[in-house]
Amino acid sequence: MATTADQIGRSIDTETADKNAEKDARKDETLEDYTLRYAPHSFRRWGSGTVAITALGGIAYLADFSIGASIAISFGTANAILAILFAAAVIFMTGLPVAYYAARYNIDLDLITRGAGFGYYGSVITAVIFASFTFIFFALEGSIMAQGLLVGLGVPLWVGYLASTLIVLPLVIYGMKALSKLQLWTTPFWLILMAAPVIYLLSSQPGVVGDWLAYTGTEGYGGVSLAAVMLGAGVCLALMGQIGEQIDYLRFMPAKTRENRGRWWAAVLAAGPGWVILGAAKQMIGALLAFYLMSKMADSAATEPVRQFLAIFSEMLPLWAALALSVILVVISQIKINVTNAYSGSLAWTNAFTRITRHYPGRIVFVVVNLAIALALMEGNMFAVLNNILGFYSNCAIAWVVVVATDIVVNKYLLGLSPKAPEYRRGMLYAVNPVGTIAFTAAAGLAIAAYFGLLGAFLSSYSPLIAVAVGVILPPILAALTGGRYYLARGDDGIASPRFTPDGTPSAERFTCVSCEAEFERPDVVYSAHHDGVVCSLCRAVEPLGVRS
């Protein structure tokens, strides 16, 4: 009997220790990275400019050069430019409202999605889509770095893939504090290395631009073709998910005040939807460099950024210096973007996992998961089928972001069918809101069906337009049909103090969570009848299904 009692006692002690360890992990991880929650005033110590530069540092990726090169080689320069501009316009317009919401209310895109038509559990699917975006582009950038190491140092590709994965791990662990310093320190050097070869080419051979503009591609479209433009745009629009990574930084913006209003808006526009301006420019430069490389060397690897820059650096400098600078540029670019990919991916995976299982294992677990998936894709040579992967994926990304942006602009502000103040806390939302989930499913489903030719040969080129059109039209219709009643499960969170100040700024008033005993600001807490007190959003998220709100 004594032995049995001892075993039971040890079992209880172990279970208690595990729960306490998880509680401590939740405190440590969320107080650094604020996974699944609002980023409070007390943590947002950076100025608008610092946040903007940090966010823009995340778009230093070289995949834009490959994307622009691929569509220009396939469809011709004129079609590629029109595709890039069309995609950039769509990305900017849809990115603006979600970037504003993130910066104004200090929450990430998943938390915005919950209250913008999807519901508490309905947005799990979009969290997985975003996580997929991060490991797809991590693998793409890792592949480019491995190509650079192969060309410059003779490192085998498989070793390069592994190196590109492991090099970011220690940086990502330390969250926003480390990432902000990394991006600030490396951005000037990266800009010089990227811009110098392009300026040299345009100044030394101005005639190359005219030849490039006349290039018609390998697919036989000849002149301008709407089908070719839409096919190219579909590849570019796969980058629409990048706004989620921008928002992972923008949520740390300082509160907007009368004094900083101009700087605040400039930072939000530049680091939010404005990222696509630099992105579009890089895509066009990639198309130009690929054309120059093919016209000079007939190089079959013209879509590889390392070879594009090496070709120009070699004309400017001795070969050893050209190789060194090409490798440095590739490595810096890969680190700058892949720390963001790994960081944002870990947040997205944690977000989805915690809601499904009601267990918070810590963000670092999913840093490793995301890196492992990305490494597998690299070893599988995903770079060889870049256009196909991005063309398919873009339909899901477009549908998600367009539906959320439409809900914010039309349902919240124009029609008043969706509450303007964002809501993301469990118990305050319905599990699933049919407005966003049905609109997203229809937009993505029809676009994917069109992409694979199931809606006829004609529509197969226009899947991005289908995703955009359905994503814009359906949310207002569904919100009107449901009367907007599925946005909030209850209108009162049980706390008398307001969540927002009279000018709309999230309140900085602090409350102690009765579950984890840590302090949290007003937007991040809710009254729990089960605990008979105030609990934080994450403690509420990990409670069993049967616990009363």
Spatial distance between the Cα atoms of 499 and 526, rounded to a whole number of angstroms: 10
DSSP H stretches of helix in 205-304: 207-213, 226-236, 242-250, 261-271, 275-297
- Helix-strand-coil split of the chain, %, nearest 5: 70, 5, 25
Structure confidence at residue 41 (pLDDT) = 79
Q: Find all residues with CB under 8 Å of 252, minimum gap 6, and list them.
A: 39, 43, 44, 46, 51, 106, 176
Task: Tell me the three state secondary structure of residue 470.
Answer: helix
Counting Cα atoms < 13 Å in the Cβ hemisphere of 21 gives 7
Residue found under tokens 């190509």: 147
> What is the DSSP annotation of 390-419?
HHHHHHHHHHHHHHHHHIIIIIIIIS--S-
DSSP 294-345: HHHH--TTTT-HHHHHHHHHHHHS-HHHHHHHHHHHHHHHHHHHHHHHHHHH
- Return the amino acid letter for 489: A
Give the span between the Cα atoms of 325 and 196, in whole angstroms: 11
Secondary structure (3-state) at 506: strand
DSSP summary character for residue 358: S
- DSSP for 165-177? HHTTHHHHHTHHH
Tokens at 221, concatenated: 């479209």
Contacts of 286 (CB under 8 A, 6+ apart): 64, 65, 66, 67, 68, 69, 72, 303, 305, 308
Within a 10 A sphere around the Cβ of 220, how many other Cβ atoms? 10
How far, in Å, are 11, 177, 352 from residue 266 at the CA level? 57, 22, 32
Tens digit of pLDDT per residue, the chain (549 long)? 444 444 434 443 444 444 454 455 445 544 346 766 788 877 777 788 878 877 777 677 777 888 899 899 889 999 999 999 999 999 999 999 999 999 999 898 889 999 999 999 988 888 888 888 788 878 877 887 887 888 778 888 888 888 888 877 776 666 555 566 666 677 787 888 888 888 998 888 888 888 888 888 787 777 788 888 988 888 888 788 788 888 888 888 888 888 888 889 999 998 889 989 989 999 999 999 988 888 776 556 777 888 888 888 888 889 888 888 888 888 888 777 777 778 778 778 888 888 888 777 767 787 888 888 888 888 777 666 655 676 677 788 889 999 999 999 999 999 999 999 889 888 889 999 999 999 999 999 999 998 888 888 888 878 888 999 999 999 999 999 999 999 998 888 888 899 988 888 888 889 999 888 888 888 889 988 888 889 988 888 888 765 656
CA 30 to chain centre: 19
Residues 6 or more apart whose CB falls under 8 angstroms from that of 410 comprise: 475, 476
Asked if 538 contacts 360 with a C-beta cutoff of 8 angstroms, the reply is yes
Distance separating alpha carbons of residues 530 and 183, to the nearest angstrom: 44
**What is the per-residue pLDDT for 355?**
82
Q: Which domains does the chain have, with CATH numbers?
A: 25-389 (1.10.4160.10), 492-549 (no CATH)
Residues 6+ apart with CB under 8 A from 542: 26, 354, 358, 359, 360
| DSSP helix/strand/coil, 536 | strand
- pLDDT reported for residue 478: 96
Give the per-residue pLDDT at 18: 43
- Nearby residues of 403 by Cβ (< 8 Å), 6 or more positions away: 116, 117, 436, 439, 440, 443, 471, 474, 475
Q: Which of 167, 2, 4, 140 is nearest to 65 (CA)?
A: 140
**Residue partners of 77: CB distance under 8 A and separation at least 6:** 212, 213, 214, 215, 216, 217, 287, 291
Half-sphere CA count of 68, side-chain side, radius 13 A:
29
Measured between alpha carbons, how far is 226 from 203 in angstroms, rounded to an integer? 33
Question: How much is the pLDDT for 179?
Answer: 61
Q: Which two tokens stand for residue 153?
A: 């140092």
